[in-house]
Each structure stands twice: as structure tokens, then as C-alpha cells.
Structure 1
Amino acid sequence: MTGMMRIDDRKGNSMIFIGITGGVGAGKSAVLSYLRELDGVRVMLSDEIAHELMEPGSDCYNRLKELFAEEPIWLEDGHFDRPALAGVIFSNDKKRELLNEVVHPAVKEYVLNAVKEAKKEGLFMLVLEAALLIEEGYGEICDELWYIYASEEVRRKRLKSSRGYSDEKIDSIFASQLKEAEYRRHCKEVIDNDGDIENTIASINKALSKYKE
């Protein structure tokens, strides 16, 4: 990407742990792609961590196997049928809470261990993206939170174009997520991703600049 920021020095020797969040369609992936290209930066996705922790043989998997043994969400090889699992948990609040009570603490424990390892390695920055970053209390773990902003109009266009979502589905998702004011209240930095990628990169570089000597 053009406009790539060079990170040669940083203030102090402590690793920076950044949490990234924002509404669906805000374009978090574009921000993460840019950050991945920077030297000394590692990006983690909470969804990928959760998927790893839910693989057969893990403690997390074994607990879910007991809780959801009677649900039609299992493939022949023992793995979760993820579309079927999504259908179950998003149609039943109690079952979604059961899943979250198992998976979310396991993800947080994984993240805390990853932070310790990253500090030992001397990384400049560790980045975590999570849809429920604020709700799950990651503000207490991260050095700061970043809110990836895009207007509802832009987000709606993106979701229709990239995922083929209907207005009804988009309205339902928007209603289930935090409002913009709540994101801004919890997040120290706002990355403007409402326009073209160059403006987004400029917004990221501005947020990073305070860590430069």
C-alpha cells in the first residue's frame, strides 16, 4: 500500500497492545491489512482464535460437546457444522449465552498468553480485532482501543455489494451492535474509513505517530 509508515523507533521499550473494533461493514479488514505490513506488528483476529479453540480435542471443544450434544450441529468427523451452529445460537439467546460463557473466557486467556509472548519477542505492537471488544472488557487489557468508523450509508453499501445482504438483514445486524456514540466513548482513537484507502491510511498513521520518537 502507498503511504506505508516506517516504524524504526518507539517511545520507551514497552510493546503496545491495541484493540480494534467497529460496526459490521466498517472496513476493519482494510485497516488490519495495512497494519500487518508494518514491521514489528502482529495482528490477531478473535474469530480465528475462537475457531482454533473449538477444534476437536481442546478443552473448549469438550465442554461445548457436552453442552450441545443433542443439537444437530456436528459433522461426521466430529467438527462443528458452523452454519448449523450459527443457526442454533442466533435463534436462541440462552444457547448463545452458553456458547459465549465457554468460548469468550478461553479466547481472553489465549490473548493474555499471546501478549506475554509478544512482549518477550520485543514486538512493537500487537493488534487484536474483536467484534465484542468493548462488551468483553478488553479495554482493561489493551493499552488503547481504536474505533474503525464508517457511516451507516457507506457500511450498508459495502454489505450489499460484498456480502449480498438485504436491507432487512442489515437493519437487524445494526440494531444488535453498539451505537456510534458508545464506540467513541470507549475508544481513544477513531480511524476514519468512510472514504478512500489513502484517507484511511493517513488516519492510521496519525494514530501511530504518537509512538514515534
Structure 2
Amino acid sequence: MRIIGVTGGIASGKSTVTDILKKRFNYIVIDADQLARQAVEPGSPGLTKITTVFGPEVINENGELNRSLLGELIANDEQARKKLNAIIHPEIKKLYDQQIDFYRRSGIPTVFYDCPLLFETNLQNTVDETILVVADKEIRIGRIMARDKLTRAQAIKRIDMQMSDEDKISLADTIIENNGSLDDLLITTNVYFTRRKLLVK
């Protein structure tokens, strides 16, 4: 089975590309964000570890993780963010391995892994190929401001918290540029995967 990692910074359009993969090409896409939510569900080992490290105040009254509060805690504290990642990433890896094992045993020839932190967590070596979706910084800033109702300074801070596109480009096998409209991205992605279809599926 061939595993292809798809990644990209915030507001690059990575999720839109994986939506195209699922809806246009009917590919299997494992979503790292979905795995991350599963990893901290009530009663999970991940949530128990987070409570131990960050305190019970990060848990809502309904027993779920208070994501906004935890996000504030790690936004201004690099060490806290590293502690959180050290908890969550191994739990995500366990869930990922379970899905990969299931698809491999099911005879699925190609699976895509939608993973925002693919390079940051050195997971590029766990996939057979990597695709990076990129967009100019000013375009990403505008998208974040419009989508999340944030100020320009807040949008820039979110981008700067992540690995730079320049560093990611040096690690990626394929680059998909997404500086235009949704139709432009659809055409670019459609052409690329149509050409690759016989190779990857």
C-alpha cells in the first residue's frame, strides 16, 4: 500500500486539496486533526495525561477538553506547547497505525494522510511521498482574517508559530501552489492527480 502525506501551513488550502481527493477521486484520506480529536476524547489516555500536566481547569464541566483555554496556554508558552505535543502526538500515532493496518489488510492500494504537522513532527519518513500545499503569506493572512475574524497581527502570529514554507519546500516531493481561487485550485489539483492516477491508485 502506498501512503502519501499531504501537508501545508494554516490557510494554505491543504484541507481543500484533500476534499478534492475524497470527492473527485474517491481516495481514502486519514485526517490527523480528526485523530487528534479522538486522542483527547473523554476517558481517553490522552485527556488523562493532559489533565495531569495542565491541571483540571482545562477540562469543561461536561468532561471534554477546553480547547480554547488550552490554546491560550500554549500560544504564549513554547515549553507548554512542546509538553502538549509530547502527549498528543504518540496518541495520534497509535490511532494512525490502527487505521493504516486496517486499510492495508483491506487491500486499499493508496491512502492519503492529511497532516498539518507532517514535517514539524518528522513524519515524512513514515509515508512514501509528500505533497505540500503553499500560498503566499499575504494571501494566507487575508484568508485567516476573513475566516477566523482575527486581526492582522493575530493572523501573522498564527502563521509564524508554524514551520516556514521555505523549510517545508526543501522537504517536500511535490508542491501545489494555491494563490488563486477555488476553481484555480480545483483545476491544478485535478490535472496533477489525473496525470498521477495510474501511478497512485
1:17 and 1:103, CA in 2 relative to 1: closer, same or farther beyond 3 A?
same
**AA in 1 matched with 2:175:** V
Which string of whole-angstrom CA distances, capped at 9 and with x for unpartnered residues, describes residues 127-151 of structure 1?
2222211011111111111111211
* Structure-2 residue corresponding to 1:16: 2
Indicate yes or no: 2:109 matched with 1:121.
Answer: no
Indicate yes or no: 2:16 matched with 1:51.
Answer: no
**AA in 1 matched with 2:151:** S
* Structure-1 residue corresponding to 2:119: 134
TM-superposed CA distance for 1:203, in Å, is 2.8
- 186, 191, 197: which is aligned to 2:176? 191
Structure 2 distance, partners of 1:80, 1:180, is 30
> Are the aligned partners of 1:134 and 1:186 in contact in 2 as well (CA < 8 Å)?
yes
TM-superposed CA distance for 1:205, in Å, is 3.5
Structure 2 distance, partners of 1:166, 1:67, is 31
Structure 2 distance, partners of 1:31, 1:39, is 11
1:183 and 1:59, CA in 2 relative to 1: closer, same or farther beyond 3 A?
same
**AA in 2 matched with 1:160:** M
Indicate yes or no: 2:55 matched with 1:69.
Answer: yes
Structure 1 distance, partners of 2:133, 2:25, is 21
Matches within 5 A, 1:38-117: 38-70=24-56, 72-117=57-102
Q: Secondary structure at the match of 1:57?
A: coil
* Structure-2 residue corresponding to 1:210: 196
* Structure-2 residue corresponding to 1:161: 146
> Are the aligned partners of 2:36 and 2:88 in contact in 1 as well (CA < 8 Å)?
yes
Q: Secondary structure at the match of 2:198?
A: coil
Q: Structure 1: any 5+ residue segments left out of the alignment?
A: 1-14
Q: Secondary structure at the match of 1:190?
A: strand
**AA in 1 matched with 2:35:** I
Which string of whole-angstrom CA distances, capped at 9 and with x for unpartnered residues, describes residues 57-116 of structure 1?
21222222222235x212122221111111112232222222111111111222122112
Structure 2 distance, partners of 1:58, 1:112, is 17
**AA in 2 matched with 1:31:** V
Structure 2 distance, partners of 1:204, 1:119, is 26
Structure 1 distance, partners of 2:45, 2:59, is 17
Q: Could you tell which deviates more after superposition, 116-125 or 146-155?
A: 116-125
TM-superposed CA distance for 1:156, in Å, is 1.8
**AA in 1 matched with 2:86:** E
